[in-house]
Amino acid sequence: MVISGEKDNQTPVTAPITEVKLDLRSSIRRRLISGATAAAAAVASESSAKMTLANDENSTTESVGGDTNSDAESRYPFGSGSGEEERKGETEMNGGGARGDGTGKGGRESPAKFVYRASAPAHRRVKESPLSSDAIFTQSHAGLLNLCIVVLIAVNSRLIIENLMKYGLLIRAGFWFSSRSLRDWPLLMCCFTLPAFPLGAYVVEKLAWNKLISESVTLFLHIILTMTEILYPVFVIISCDSAIFSGVALMLIASTLWLKLVSFAHTNYDLRTLLISKGETVSECPSFDYQDGVSFQSLAYFMVAPTLCYQPAYPQTTCIRRGWVIRQFVKLVIFIGVMGFIIEQYINPIVKNSEHPLKGSFLNAVERVLKLSVPNLYVWLCMFYCFFHLWLNILAELLRFGDREFYKDWWNAKTIEEYWRMWNMPVHKWMVRHIYFPCINNGLPKGVAILISFLISAIFHELCIAVPCQTFKFWAFLGIMFQVPLGILTRYLQEKFQNSMVGNMIFWFLFCILGQPMCVLLYYHDVMNRKVSAK
């Protein structure tokens, strides 16, 4: 075949069809570029550089959806050239020329609008839509999450403004601090005397390590100390008829101290058992006192550290980030204020205008529970963020406490059991270390060990709520024990449907939408009925 090269060159050249086509395209490009002005060539060069999508032939082909295998080439018989020619054509389509680096055969850049082939295949592979069931979990949905956050802020801002315009500001100083709060000084004095119990536990352990008392006597003394430590605040709260918030705060502190005392006694007993029976050492603990067996410094650090599991030494960070602590403290103050606003502006009016869920109209009770569920959920999430993230991290930073896994991604829990394993890691580690595995090691079945763990959790939930409210209807106790069959149900549904969304939605609905608002209404009306009966 004869083809003209330049105008002054009429020498006939015989070449294969593929080379002729390539020479023809190169000739057309050279003529188009030479016929344009210098300014147009510069603009085209800049445009070509911006549209370069890859640096090599393979990545460029992939960027436009190309397929490099022979099946794809035979499946898409577009164009008049071979598969190699199509790949070269796609490289040119992206402004890459034959080299794939933005230059043509002659080393000069080619405008993409002149080399884009209309016959190049635009569809080469089977692909799913991003929101299809097969591809939805492989895509990033950060933009949709941002949209949900923006919509949530907009909707709730409108509701807040509407509520303020309709009812005004309902926050009262007397709800948080009043003349009655001054009568709660016995609770404050009780809180100040609680450190006497860790001191007594230290004395008992020191005697045990020095072999001045037997293990049975040590166990008996620890039982007396722990039982007295938890019953002492209960007696003070009931006898003083204190405010609910003050009583809840004292019971939370007393329960935390009880868990720490149990861990302190159990861990020291286990260390003595290892040293005596197996001759093992605890050299990995640098602050361990080998002579006395127990260190007052380690006990004092444990009592203020953000953990419930005692050990002679903990991993520590190298320094304290003061600026970081200040920022977290500011966040803590802000979110506490948000919780107070939601409680005063939304939860209190809803609760006061409700009937007892078990005595009034069923539809009215459902309406109140659903209306209370949203502000109650916000308060609960703020409480979690304030305590488990902000406060525990602030305390850990000030004490240079290294292990800061205070929670896991419990919001992704597929079953109730996963939620309880992830949302409160200090309590979970305590349960596993001092309840669950000791039960397993003593021959109890796994189900019985789980039941005992939930039983202890239910008792302390009831103490922290029923004692300050001074009404013992066991709603909190029953709510925690109900988690056992609920965990079995969610695990069964997870195994049956093999879908993480089913169990997760059941968890959110039963725990946050139905369970917590129902407990709030039940305890509120029980407290109100008790006050009416007292008057």
- Closest by CA to 204, choosing from 216, 195, 196, 213, is 213
What is the structure's pLDDT at 365?
79
Tell me the pTM. 0.69
pLDDT of residue 286: 44
Pairwise CA distance, residues 178 & 171, whole Å: 13
> Tens of pLDDT along 291-317?
457 888 999 999 999 999 999 889 999
For residue 167, the SS3 value is helix
Residue 259: per-residue pLDDT: 94
**Alpha-carbon radius of gyration of the chain:** 36
Q: Please report, in tens digits, the pLDDT of each residue of the chain (535 residues total).
A: 434 443 444 344 444 444 434 454 454 444 444 444 444 444 444 444 444 433 444 443 444 344 434 343 444 444 444 444 444 444 444 444 444 444 444 445 555 555 567 777 878 888 888 778 777 777 777 788 888 889 888 888 888 888 888 877 777 655 555 555 556 678 888 889 999 999 999 999 999 988 898 999 999 999 999 999 999 999 988 888 777 888 888 999 999 999 999 999 999 998 888 887 765 444 444 444 444 578 889 999 999 999 999 998 899 999 999 999 999 999 999 999 888 888 888 888 888 877 777 676 778 778 888 888 888 888 889 999 999 999 999 999 999 998 999 999 888 888 888 888 888 999 999 999 999 999 999 889 998 999 999 999 999 998 988 888 888 888 888 888 888 888 888 888 777 777 667 777 877 887 777 788 888 888 887 777 766 666 5
The identity of residue 346, as a single letter, is: Y
Q: CA–CA separation, 423 vs 427, rounded Å?
A: 9
pLDDT given at position 222 = 94
- The backbone region for 79, taken as left when phi is positive above 0, alpha when psi lies in -120 to 50, beta otherwise, is left
Cβ-contact 457, 480 below 8 angstroms = yes
- Active-site hit among 266, 428, 461, 525: 461
Res 436: pLDDT: 92
- Spans of all domains in the chain: 184-277+293-304, 315-406, 407-534
Annotated catalytic residue 389: no
Q: What is the pLDDT of residues 172-204, one digit of tens each?
A: 655 555 555 556 678 888 889 999 999 999 999
Cα 5 off chain centre by: 68
Q: Find the Cα–Cα–Cα–Cα dihedral 139, 412, 310, 253, rounded to 10°.
A: 130
Alpha helices in 94-141 (DSSP H): 112-115
Task: Give me the pLDDT at residue 66, please.
Answer: 41
Question: At 401, is the secondary structure helix, strand, or coil?
Answer: strand
Give me the half-sphere count of Cα atoms (radius 13 Å) on the Cβ side of residue 12: 3
At residue 316, the 3 state secondary structure works out as strand
* The amino acid at 505: M
Alpha helices in 423-509 (DSSP H): 425-431, 437-441, 446-469, 475-481, 483-497, 500-507
Question: Do 530 and 438 contact (CB within 8 A), yes or no?
Answer: no
Query: What pLDDT, on the 0 to 100 scale, is given for residue 178?
Result: 53
What is the pLDDT, as a whole number, of residue 261?
A: 95
What pLDDT is attached to residue 534?
Answer: 62
Rounded Cα distance, 109 and 92, in Å = 10
Q: What are phi and psi of 401, to 5 degrees?
A: -75, 125
**Whole-angstrom distance, CA of residue 495 vs CA of residue 436:** 24
CB 86 within 8 A of CB 120: yes
